[in-house]
Amino acid sequence: MNLTLRVWRQAQSDVAGALVEYQAIDVNPDMSFLEMLDVVNERLISAGDVPIAFDHDCREGICGSCGMMINGVAHGPMKGTATCQLHMRSFRDGDIVVIEPWRARAFPVIKDLVVNRSALDRIIQAGGFISTPTGGAPDGNTMPIARQASDSAMDAAACIGCGACVAACPNASASLFTGAKISHLGLLPQGQPERYRRALKMVAQMDLESFGGCSLFGECQEACPKEISIDVIARMNRDFLVAAVAASEERSGGDEG
């Protein structure tokens, strides 16, 4: 199959970019989307051109590196799938495919389709951790956890931090990401000591990184390759509101973190 690609090319963050048209010839429908780009890049290199820069690592849908906007949809047309797991059989011969980087003020373009997602790391640094005495691995089931809680925590923990939620959100909000991190720790007993402080700090950092607010459009959960539900946003808001209203109590409880 043959495709026409319109790819965002931008040499570096501080220069203007533009959509450039390329022909992807003899594409095998069993290729992944990234393999298709590899083939296009091989041709560009042998023709002496600069290959298209795109982020990728594991290529099995767990590292969260390979996000890109494909025909206006984060990670392309296949639901619950990262770009690396998207196959060319999802496209038809002769299709025009527009490929753009994630667009958000908090995600500056480094080159072509590669954006800097460090803002998400800084949200994690602000409170996405637990401080618990470490040592030998504890025996199984010494700490009872309700099945419902462990399942919900695992659903939230599936977040790979790819940034598709931000990319798909009309407001460029990082609420699904932050909500997932707050939920996955806040649902488990190990996450309780810092639960409310965590909500305050991670939400403050999220706002500081100039992401937009949540309007509950629902685009994020549709775009999420791990199909994380907007329920995590309700949980984040609940923890944040409780923490904000009871903030004085929290402070008098001692702030070691």
Partner 1 sequence: MWLVTLYRSTIGKKSIMAVTGLVLVAFVIVHMAGNLQVFLGPAKMNGYSAFLKSTGELLWLVRLGLLTALVLHVLMAWQLTRVAAAARPHDYARRDARASTVASRTMRWGGVLLLAFIVFHLLHFTTGTLFPTASRPDAVYPAFSEHDVYGNVVSAFHNPWVVAVYVVAMLFLLLHLFHGAWSSVRTLGLSKPSPQPLHRRIATVVAIVVWLGFTAVPVAVLLGVVR
- For partner 1, the binding residues (CB under 8 A) are 6, 8, 19, 69, 71-73, 98, 100, 103-106, 152, 168, 170-173, 200, 203-204, 206-207, 210-219, 221-223, 229-231, 233-241, 244-248
Rounded to 5 degrees, what angle do the CA atoms 230, 57, 118 make? Answer: 55
Alpha-carbon distance of 153 to 147, in angstroms, equals 10
Choose between 101 and 131: whose C-beta lies nearer to partner 1: 101
Choose between 189 and 213: whose C-beta lies nearer to partner 1: 213
- Residue 45 Cβ vs partner 1, minimum distance, rounded to whole Å: 26
Nearest to 19 by CA among 30, 8, 29, 33: 8
Q: Phi, psi at residue 144, to the nearest 5°? A: -70, 130
Helices in the chain by DSSP H: which ranges? 33-46, 118-127, 147-157, 164-168, 175-186, 195-208, 219-223, 231-245, 247-252
Choose between 43 and 248: whose C-beta lies nearer to partner 1: 248
**Helix, strand, coil shares of the chain as percentages rounded to 5?**
40, 15, 45
Q: CA torsion, points 67, 69, 71, 74, in degrees to nearest 10?
A: 70
Choose between 27 and 168: whose C-beta lies nearer to partner 1: 168
Nearest to 87 by CA among 32, 127, 35, 40: 32
- Residue 245 Cβ vs partner 1, minimum distance, rounded to whole Å: 5
- Residue 95 Cβ vs partner 1, minimum distance, rounded to whole Å: 13
- Residue 142 Cβ vs partner 1, minimum distance, rounded to whole Å: 27
- Residue 145 Cβ vs partner 1, minimum distance, rounded to whole Å: 16
Choose between 58 and 208: whose C-beta lies nearer to partner 1: 208
Alpha-carbon distance of 160 to 220, in angstroms, equals 14
- Residue 229 Cβ vs partner 1, minimum distance, rounded to whole Å: 5
Choose between 20 and 58: whose C-beta lies nearer to partner 1: 20
